[in-house]
Amino acid sequence: MSEVGRRFRAVLPAVGLLTLATAGVLGISTLLGFAPAPPVWRIVLTLVAAALLGVAATDQVRAALTDWRGATAAESGAHRRPRRGAPPAQRRPDLERTGEHADTGVFTGRTRRVPTTDDLWGGEGAVATAPPRVEDPPTAGPPPRPRPPRPSWVRLAVTVLSAVALAVLLWVPQVPVSGVVRAVAQFFSGYGAYALPVLPLLLAWPLPRLHREPWPWQLPLVPLVDRRLWTGEELRTLAVATLIFVRERVLTRSTGIVLAALGLLHLVRGNPDLLDGGTSRAGGIVGFLLAEPLRLVLASGGAIALLGGVLAGAAAVVAASVGRAWGTVTGYAVLAVALAVPLGAVGAGHWLGFEYYLRTENGRVVVVAGLSPDHRQAVHDTSLTVDGLSPSLVALFDKGLPVADNADGDRIAKALARPAESAAASFVGDQFELRAGECFDWIGGSSQLRYVAPCNGAHVGEVTFVGHLPFTVDPGKAAVEIASRAVCEQSYGDYLGVPFGQSFLPLEQPLLPAGLDGDGWQPRPVIACWLGSVGPWPLKGTKTVAALQQKVSWGAAGGCKIEVPDALRVTAEQPNARCVAPGPEQKLSVPGGGFAMDLEFAAIGKAAGGAKIGAGCFDGANLANGYSFEVAADGIIEIYKHVGDQHVKLGASAKPKNAGPPTTASTPLQVTCKPTVDGGVELTAFSTGSRKATAVDKNAPITALSPRLVLSNAATAGVVMTTMIFSATRV
Is 312 found in the same domain as 360? no
Q: What is the pLDDT of residue 450?
A: 75
Is residue 152 within 8 Å of residue 310, measured between CB atoms? no
Q: What is the pLDDT of residue 128?
A: 36
**Domain-terminating residue out of 322, 348, 374:** 348
Q: Where do runs of H (alpha helix) occur along 269-390?
A: 284-326, 328-349
Is 490 found in the same domain as 344? no
The helix, strand and coil proportions of the chain, stated in percent and rounded to the nearest 5, come to: 40, 25, 40
Torsion over CA of 494, 495, 497 and 502, rounded to 10 degrees? -90
**Consecutive 10-residue averages of pLDDT for the chain (731 residues):** 79 92 95 92 95 90 86 69 47 40 34 36 36 44 58 86 93 90 94 91 70 76 84 87 83 90 95 87 94 95 96 92 86 93 93 91 93 87 91 90 93 94 90 90 65 90 96 89 93 94 92 75 92 93 93 82 84 88 90 94 76 93 94 90 94 82 77 93 93 94 94 82 93 92
Q: What is the pLDDT of residue 607?
A: 67
Is 403 found in the same domain as 339? no
Is 646 found in the same domain as 722? yes
What is the count of structural domains for the chain?
5
Angle (deg, nearest 10), helices 40-56 and 58-76: 70
Segment (H or E) for 261: helix 254-268
Q: Do the domain assignments include residue 659? A: yes
CA angle 116, 122, 128 (to 5 degrees): 40
Is 98 found in the same domain as 57? no
Q: Do the domain assignments include residue 220? A: no
Q: Do the domain assignments include residue 489? A: yes
Question: What would the DSSP string read from start to end of 54-75?
Answer: HHHTHHHHHHHHHHHHHHHHHH
**Domain-terminating residue out of 326, 348, 370:** 348
Chain centroid to Cα 642, Å, comes to 47
| Dihedrals phi, psi of 626, to nearest 5 degrees | 155, -165
CA angle 292, 406, 379 (to 5 degrees): 40
Q: Do the domain assignments include residue 244? A: no
Segment (H or E) for 240: helix 232-252
* Coil, helix or strand at residue 613: strand
Distance separating alpha carbons of residues 701 and 718, to the nearest angstrom: 33
Q: Do the domain assignments include residue 478? A: yes
CB atoms within 10 A of CB 86: 9
Q: Do the domain assignments include residue 241? A: no
Is 699 found in the same domain as 601? yes
Q: Is 520 exposed, middle or buried (0-12, 13-18, 19+ CB in 10 A)?
A: exposed
Is 164 found in the same domain as 60? no
CA angle 648, 636, 630 (to 5 degrees): 50
Is 174 found in the same domain as 30? no
* Coil, helix or strand at residue 685: strand
Q: What is the pLDDT of residue 388?
A: 84
Is 201 found in the same domain as 73? no
Q: Do the domain assignments include residue 226? A: no
Domain residues for the domain of 681 are: 544-730
Q: What is the pLDDT of residue 1?
A: 60
Angle (deg, nearest 10), helices 284-326 and 40-56: 50
**Domain-terminating residue out of 479, 500, 532:** 532
Is 122 found in the same domain as 159? no
Q: What is the pLDDT of residue 648?
A: 95
Chain centroid to Cα 205, Å, comes to 44
CATH number at residue 605: 2.60.120.560
Is 700 found in the same domain as 605? yes
Is 315 found in the same domain as 294? yes
CB atoms within 10 A of CB 676: 13
Q: 373: which residues sit within 8 A by CB, 6+ positions away? A: 276, 357, 399, 400
**Of 693, 697, 698, residue with least CA distance to 655:** 693
